[in-house]
Structure 1
């Protein structure tokens, strides 16, 4: 057995004798296992429920009786955001955003029924997921277990004895680090098993699961390096403990809470009321299709008549009301899309400003990377909203086209003759969400992965410096 491995074995033996540390480790492993199981069970149940509701509302839409197409425009439709398999590992922003969109004519609604709004306020303090356990609790336990790894030897006087017997400082520190890394690997094991299960069940997600596992391995390796560095520099174990607790509090608790507040204060989003007022103002400026004297739609009617070579809307081969409906929907949808793009652009700017804090607080980088890979970040949420809006626009315009082509101007004014067969509703309700390709998710995670690698390199250099300083102090 090499000297480094013997040092690591002795350190692990001392850890096993520490009942408080072992109890904490066992509790963390149990908590990780429970988190993985409950998160997977919730994800599976939520996904099954959403699929069931999606099929139900699609059936209800297609089961509508003979109706006027414009009544179907206002009848509306629901679409539900599907969950990725990795959402069980890291829920990201999903609990705070809605997962249900109501699609109707003349409006672009936001998603509703976020879990935080439907659950206890305790949910705001963090869900029990494998990501939360590894991001917050595992580093804290590493601090308590390993803070005295090297400082203990200095404080008790055994360091000089070990060095006098020929043990080099590098071997001592490497052995202590190896023991800490073994504990960190044990902490990571339940999450890795969960990710392996996801990869085996869904081979298309295997690359993402592997990347997620490597990211969290790098995160715990950072803390093992950090704990070993501070313990090597400190003269007493309690000094190392206080310094490491301060680092954990600032980097894992304080900065991640403060950073979003700073981003929101410096790049404030308009309130929902302000947006609604602005939208209504711009809608009024677009024109009123129900007003025969409206300048825009007067000109639109003239162009339509000229295109078909007639002088009256009654002589058009299509129903003018349906044509006006299609034009009105086109105009309002362009307006809604513009406001949505502006809002998401501002939100993305907030996210980018938040990423500046990943340099002093690498847990922010880990969270951004984790959410990107799990498909639970802002970009994935925007993807759902945009695909839902594209489906809404296609659905409403299909109904407007039915009014234009299946009803005449005369029959549209007679309530008994203004219905069309219910067979026309078939095929309109199907919504297929296209998730982000894995390669694109990995590409978006690259900047935050680079931050973690920089931190790993910096902490490795710091530990090397502390080791050389330890050699100098013993001369």
Structure 2
């Protein structure tokens, strides 16, 4: 172990004299501080805007005066999604998924108010985040330090001297790996500590720590994979220049090409409808029925006859309740079936795409890491679908209360009935509950296995290179 520590110290001193280590550290510190600051600032601005929008929406709804409940149902409320306490680590799909759902009558709306729509003028600079720094840039910095860590020793002839002095190749690899682990592990740890400190007063401690721990561990495995790969290539390469070319090619394939190919394949194998196609399919099922042979007019007439029979009257005017209110409730009930079908199918397509994107992990660990990173940050598709479902549950509660009030108190008046303004204040507020991270663990097992598999593979490559070097004369 003392030999490993000595090699690590010697490697750090060498990189410092060559001025590579100061340059790498300066870049890590500057971009780390910048990415963390920007991410935390964006998170604070988003939460500030959400709180202000919620207050405006609440006050406007509560102070609208006496109105017909169904008119209010069309006016309705917005459900705003609060950010997860770890969202600053990885924005994920958040800027593109929408943060607000309009909970109106008759229709389940998709999320809107996408943050990306407000950032066009800043371009890709707004994508800078701790996740991007560690997932895209950090492997390049690993390569910058490690490409000649062993290949240069071979070129100078010092590799044979080290072997002659009894230094085992595995000890040499372990020492170089320890040095690289310190260079990149400490900034990763500092980012994790900064996230915990920034969210400690506003998040549940156990949930926050679990998410940050998972995020940190996933990135540690990823960086370990690149360190092991870089050392394996450097040890096998006859010249440092060859090692650099091979590693840059591997980075290009694993970081730029494979993830994009996986996304394209996922969209081709599990396509999702366009917004226009989705809306048209919803409207068709609502109008013509789920099987295409149950039109809305026929359903309404059948429901009317059923209500008249239940109340033992012959005309709507004789009902002790508002038939319009009953019809609205029945329409909502049927709509729930339609919405569950189409939004459920859409969610299934998104999850299928998520599965197909894992194919990209065959060419590199990044796709698996991205899934784990977004899940820990609370910014993946599963968290978004969870928000949509909670908003829809709230929409059904709100519309149900308003339609029931009209049914009970609007007999003989229907849409002319005006409810007391106190009703609006009794409508429950939307309160989003962040899913427990532990509850999502089952869906992430494959990603953890893929990431761990890549680490084990690169460690085996490095170990094999060390064994073959020792066996060579």
TM-score normalised by the chain length of structure 1:
0.93
**Whole-angstrom distance in 1 between the partners of 2:7 and 2:278:** 64
How far residue 317 of structure 1 moved from its aligned partner, in angstroms, is: 1.5
How far residue 233 of structure 1 moved from its aligned partner, in angstroms, is: 0.7
- Preserved contact between residue 234 and residue 240 of structure 1 (Cα < 8 Å): yes
How far residue 385 of structure 1 moved from its aligned partner, in angstroms, is: 0.7
* Pair 1:149 & 2:149 matched: yes
2:229 aligned residue (226, 236, 240): 226
- Preserved contact between residue 57 and residue 78 of structure 1 (Cα < 8 Å): yes
User: Taking structure 1 as reference, are residues 21 and 268 closer, same or farther at Cα in structure 2, changes over 3 Å only?
Assistant: same
**Whole-angstrom distance in 2 between the partners of 1:89 and 1:182:** 21
Q: Which ranges of structure 2 fall in alignment gaps of 5 or more residues?
A: 291-295
How far residue 134 of structure 1 moved from its aligned partner, in angstroms, is: 0.4
- Map Cα deviations across residues 135-192 of structure 1 (whole Å, 9 max, x no partner): 0111100101111111111001111222222222222222222222221213424312
Cα RMSD for the two superposed structures: 1.9
**Whole-angstrom distance in 1 between the partners of 2:467 and 2:38:** 46
1:363 aligned residue (356, 361, 366): 366
How far residue 206 of structure 1 moved from its aligned partner, in angstroms, is: 1.1
User: Taking structure 1 as reference, are residues 124 and 349 closer, same or farther at Cα in structure 2, changes over 3 Å only?
Assistant: farther
- Map Cα deviations across residues 215-258 of structure 1 (whole Å, 9 max, x no partner): 11111111111111111111111111111111111001111122
**Whole-angstrom distance in 2 between the partners of 1:370 and 1:197:** 19
**Whole-angstrom distance in 2 between the partners of 1:103 and 1:174:** 58
Which residue does 1:469 correspond to in 2? 468
How far residue 39 of structure 1 moved from its aligned partner, in angstroms, is: 0.9
User: Taking structure 1 as reference, are residues 194 and 161 closer, same or farther at Cα in structure 2, changes over 3 Å only?
Assistant: same
Structure 1: 4+ residue segments shifted above 6 A: none
- Map Cα deviations across residues 380-423 of structure 1 (whole Å, 9 max, x no partner): 101111111111121112111111111122x337x4xx212101
How far residue 122 of structure 1 moved from its aligned partner, in angstroms, is: 5.4
**Whole-angstrom distance in 2 between the partners of 1:391 and 1:124:** 35
User: Taking structure 1 as reference, are residues 232 and 426 closer, same or farther at Cα in structure 2, changes over 3 Å only?
Assistant: same
- Preserved contact between residue 195 and residue 213 of structure 1 (Cα < 8 Å): no
TM-score normalised by the chain length of structure 2:
0.94
Which residue does 1:446 correspond to in 2? 445
1:274 aligned residue (273, 277, 290): 277
- Preserved contact between residue 323 and residue 414 of structure 2 (Cα < 8 Å): no
- Preserved contact between residue 116 and residue 123 of structure 1 (Cα < 8 Å): no
- Preserved contact between residue 149 and residue 234 of structure 2 (Cα < 8 Å): yes
How far residue 38 of structure 1 moved from its aligned partner, in angstroms, is: 1.9
* Pair 1:94 & 2:90 matched: no
Map of 1:147-296 to 2, 5 A cutoff? Answer: 147-198=147-198, 200-201=200-201, 202=203, 203-204=205-206, 205-286=208-289, 294-296=297-299
**Number of positions where the alignment pairs a residue of Structure 1 with one of Structure 2:** 465
For the residue of structure 1 that corresponds to 2:5, the secondary structure is: helix
Which residue does 2:293 correspond to in 1? none
User: Taking structure 1 as reference, are residues 79 and 219 closer, same or farther at Cα in structure 2, changes over 3 Å only?
Assistant: same
1:307 aligned residue (303, 306, 310): 310
